[in-house]
């Protein structure tokens, strides 16, 4: 980590700046995954001691002095009450990104979001070598390779990659009422975001435009899917007959109609099932295969030597041909050449 100005310390991974080194050290735990403060009661671990202390209140009969006047839910701290009111009652998102105008309920969410605009992508997929701005994005991306869906519905067994998708699905079983109603057609929704996108249809708003043909879409997912028509990209391949599709939903329909939704091959290590040999191989290589090739600079491991070579050769200094794993390290290195020349 390098000091960017007097008494300010910058994280080399995400470029966030801190007033002192102690704050930087605590922040580094978010990248390493280390949670040193553990609850003696339930075993849950936390990055910061203050978070553990707040958590321990949940195991006691501690007084919750901050009560919501709308629903009588109580909280230990005032900021928890304010966040609850904004999220569940007023819908007010006071923290707005100055780049894309996206709004958030909490300041920490805005700060975390701004990493996307910084353009720094240090988290790489070992399988397809696509890079992401956040480790969470990479983790979610890898599930497409492995077929992992860790969140399962206890009622019907349907599984999902993300917890919020499971929550939305679980509501379809009638557990939670649809609290958000459209004033124009009285249709109700489980979440405020669903109502927002529904209102786009009434207003004719389609904010997402294809730069190639000008066609507009209500949802960014619709635009992303449409773009593949122009690029010819058909990334979803049937492992049984090798036919390719633009969308995953089309592949699922194909499997159901043409192959009776068969899952033929099972992983010997974890018993997870797959539609074909290729999907099974991708899963096994990413989850179970030993990674023999290690990067001497950052310690990252790879299953194949060519993947290690690609990783090492991504960022090369044009002046002295030195190799760097991260672009940020290369830029810092260039500064040393500039200092010598001056």
In a domain, 104, yes or no: yes
Of 95, 87, 120, 110, residue with least CA distance to 15: 120
Domain stop point among 105, 120, 135? 120
Classified as helix, coil or strand, 245 is strand
Which pLDDT score, from 0 to 100, does residue 257 have? Answer: 73
In a domain, 329, yes or no: yes
Under 8 Å between Cβ of 123 and 134: yes
What are the φ/ψ torsions at residue 86 (nearest 5 degrees)?
-65, -40
The CATH number given to whatever domain includes residue 101 is 3.30.160.60
DSSP 59-108: GTT----EE-TTT--EESSHHHHHHHHIIIII----EE-TTT--EESSHH
Longest CA span, the chain = 70
In a domain, 230, yes or no: no
Which pLDDT score, from 0 to 100, does residue 221 have? Answer: 72
Q: pTM for the whole thing?
A: 0.32
The CATH number given to whatever domain includes residue 248 is 3.30.160
DSSP 278-338: HHHHHHHHHHTS---EE-TTT--EESSHHHHHHHHTSEE-TTT--EESSHHHHHHHHHHHH
> How many structural domains are present in the chain?
3
Domain stop point among 120, 142, 160? 120
Residue 267 shares a structural domain with residue 298: no
In a domain, 254, yes or no: yes
In a domain, 139, yes or no: no
Which pLDDT score, from 0 to 100, does residue 96 have? Answer: 86
Residue 181's H or E segment, with its range, is strand 180-181
In a domain, 283, yes or no: yes
Residue 284 shares a structural domain with residue 315: no
Domain stop point among 75, 102, 120? 120
In a domain, 257, yes or no: yes
Residue 284 shares a structural domain with residue 240: yes
Residue 271 shares a structural domain with residue 251: yes
| 319-329: burial string, b at 16+ Cβ within 10 Å, e else | eeeebbbbebb
The Cα–Cα gap between 90 and 240 comes to: 51
- Domain limits for position 253: 236-288
The Cα–Cα gap between 169 and 305 comes to: 42
Which pLDDT score, from 0 to 100, does residue 256 have? Answer: 74
Token pair of 169 as six digits: 């699905």
Q: How confident is the prediction along the chain (342 residues), in pLDDT tens digits per residue?
A: 444 444 677 887 777 777 788 888 888 877 777 888 888 777 788 888 878 877 776 665 455 677 777 776 777 777 778 777 777 777 677 788 888 888 887 777 888 788 777 777 778 888 888 888 888 888 888 888 877 888 877 667 778 888 888 877 777 766 555 667 777 776 777 677 777 777 777 777 787 888 888 888 877 777 877 888 888 777 778 777 778 887 777 777 787 777 765 556 777 777 676 766 777 777 777 777 766 677 877 777 777 778 888 887 777 888 888 877 777 777 778 778 776 665
Which pLDDT score, from 0 to 100, does residue 1 have? Answer: 47
Which pLDDT score, from 0 to 100, does residue 216 have? Answer: 86
Residue 297 shares a structural domain with residue 333: yes
Which pLDDT score, from 0 to 100, does residue 342 have? Answer: 55
Which pLDDT score, from 0 to 100, does residue 262 have? Answer: 58
Which pLDDT score, from 0 to 100, does residue 341 have? Answer: 62
The Cα–Cα gap between 338 and 197 comes to: 50
Which pLDDT score, from 0 to 100, does residue 5 have? Answer: 44
In a domain, 97, yes or no: yes
């Amino acid at each position: 980590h390098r000091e960017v100005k007097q008494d300010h310390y910058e994280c080399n991974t995400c470029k966030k700046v801190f007033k002192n080194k102690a704050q930087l050290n605590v922040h580094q735990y978010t990248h390493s995954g280390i949670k040193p403060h553990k609850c003696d009661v339930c075993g849950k671990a936390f990055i910061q001691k203050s978070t553990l202390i707040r958590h321990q209140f949940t195991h006691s009969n501690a007084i919750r002095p901050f009560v919501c006047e709308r629903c009588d839910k109580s909280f230990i701290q005032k900021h928890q009450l304010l966040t609850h009111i904004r999220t569940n009652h007023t819908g007010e998102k006071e923290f707005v990104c100055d780049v894309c105008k996206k709004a958030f309920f909490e300041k920490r969410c805005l700060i975390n979001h701004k990493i996307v605009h910084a353009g720094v992508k240090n988290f790489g997929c070992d399988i397809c070598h696509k890079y992401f701005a956040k480790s969470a994005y990479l983790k979610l991306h890898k599930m497409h390779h492995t077929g992992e869906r860790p969140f399962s519905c206890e009622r019907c067994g349907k599984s999902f990659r993300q917890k919020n998708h499971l929550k939305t699905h679980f509501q379809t079983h009638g557990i939670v009422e649809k609290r958000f109603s459209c004033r124009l057609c009285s249709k109700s929704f489980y979440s405020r975001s669903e109502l927002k996108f529904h209102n786009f249809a009434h207003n004719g708003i389609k904010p997402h435009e294809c730069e190639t043909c000008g066609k507009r879409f209500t949802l960014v997912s619709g635009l992303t899917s449409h773009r593949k028509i122009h690029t010819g990209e058909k990334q979803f391949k049937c492992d049984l007959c090798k036919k390719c599709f633009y969308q995953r939903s089309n592949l699922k329909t194909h499997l159901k109609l043409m192959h009776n939704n068969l899952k033929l091959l099972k992983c010997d290590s974890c018993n997870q099932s797959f539609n074909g040999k290729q999907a099974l191989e991708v899963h096994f290589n990413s989850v179970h295969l030993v990674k023999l090739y290690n990067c001497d600079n950052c310690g990252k491991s790879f299953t194949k030597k060519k993947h290690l070579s690609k990783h090492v050769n991504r960022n090369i200094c044009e002046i002295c041909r030195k190799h760097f794993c991260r672009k940020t390290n290369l830029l810092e290195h260039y500064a040393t050449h500039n200092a010598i020349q001056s």
